[in-house]
Amino acid sequence: MQSETTFPFSNPTISPGLIAEITERLRLRAFVPALMLGNRHLMTIIGTKRPRRFSILEHPAERREFQTEAQTRVVAYCHWQSNRLNRPTILIVHGLEGSADANYVLGTASKAFAAGFNVLRYNVRGCGGTLHLSPKLYHSGLTVDLHHVARELIEVDNVQQLFLIGFSMGGNQSLKFAGELGENAPSQLRGICAISPPIDLETCSRSIAQPENWIYETRFLRSLHRTLREKEKHFPGAFDLNRLQDVRHLWDWDDAMQPYNGFRDAMDYYNQASSLPFIPQIKVPTLLIHAKDDPFIPFEPFTDERIAANPMVHLLATERGGHVAFFGKRQPDEDRAWAENRAIEFCRLLSRQT
């Protein structure tokens, strides 16, 4: 399906005990929901859409295009420290129909830069105003671009410590990327953090189709329809818009559109693009952050024994938090974005140890 990039490096094993120790340290900062946001839907909507200020916007960004396939380029906004070669680097990957300007991306980038990291706010293929840079669509299991971007950062930019933080769809892509690398993970790839990742796409597709989740599914479908119509303007005739007539659920969308990505239908796509089967092959320190009350990404797949069996992968589960939001009670030493804080702490602690 995709051409993977093989790195000519080996990743020295970091002690599973060290990863467990770091995860336990993160657990000490338990998530406490903000007052009146115990409801998972309120948490998800208010927690991700609330007004915020982002210090990262005060730092100039280099707009960087990466050539990943013959007709495909992706864009990242790079915020480099003054002594960039001596600083660790974080690549942030957004969720479905998101962009490098999503609140959670800007919030995480602000924390990462303040903590001394170089930061790349990455636009998944076609997102963030880049529809014209590829005739192809993106999908939740798309990793070929991440392979190329990571390779270029390591081989061209001489990045010595690279971390990925992925949100929702971006989390699934980041986990699958690490699993595909397996034993060939480069020594420079130091850690992966996935927040609210849909590791089992079939389960998620069935869940979001439930009546109580109509607001999320409707929002995604409307955005996807707009995106495809805009895409067709750049590449006339590349897509049959008549396929959209019978689309009522995300499952229908995947049945209609994933054949353009080389999958037979929705079920074939879910089987090949879900990151859960790739998690056993992950050989770099990995943190999963997920709320048990996520409205449309069920918790059950996170109890899969394949996750627990991999000592390089640890789950930080909370009772509350909604989807991506994790809008917490105010703390004296950090802001309310609890999951963003834990992700940066995870990378910071690993950076000091490796």
pLDDT tens for each residue of 201-255: 999 999 999 999 999 999 999 999 999 999 999 999 999 999 999 999 999 999 9
In this predicted structure, the answer to whether residue 11 has a pLDDT above a threshold of 90 is no
- Each residue of 252-307: pLDDT tens digit? 999 999 999 999 999 999 999 999 999 999 999 999 999 999 999 999 999 999 99
- Residue 17 is predicted with a pLDDT of 87
- Each residue of 55-95: pLDDT tens digit? 999 999 999 999 999 999 999 999 999 999 999 999 999 99
- Residue 352 is predicted with a pLDDT of 84
In this predicted structure, the answer to whether residue 10 has a pLDDT above a threshold of 50 is no
- Residue 31 is predicted with a pLDDT of 97
CA 214/CA 5 separation, integer angstroms: 39
- Residue 353 is predicted with a pLDDT of 66
Q: Given the structure tokens 């939001």, which residue do they identify?
A: 325
- Residue 130 is predicted with a pLDDT of 98
What average pLDDT does the segment 302-330 reach? 97
Cβ atoms within 10 Å of 332's Cβ, excluding its own:
4
Alpha carbon separation from 27 to 67, 171, 237, 315 (Å, rounded): 39, 20, 52, 10
Of the candidates 178, 188, 203, 184, the residue with the CA atom closest to the CA atom of residue 287: 178
- Each residue of 103-137: pLDDT tens digit? 999 999 999 999 999 999 999 999 999 999 999 99
What average pLDDT does the segment 132-145 reach? 98
- Residue 14 is predicted with a pLDDT of 75
Q: What is the mean pLDDT of the chain?
A: 94
Contact between 69 and 144 (Cβ < 8 Å)? yes
What average pLDDT does the segment 318-336 reach? 96
In this predicted structure, the answer to whether residue 172 has a pLDDT above a threshold of 70 is yes
Q: Name the amino acid, one letter, at 78.
A: C
- Residue 5 is predicted with a pLDDT of 39
Instruction: Note the pTM of the prediction, 2 decimals.
Output: 0.95
Strands 286-291 and 313-318: parallel
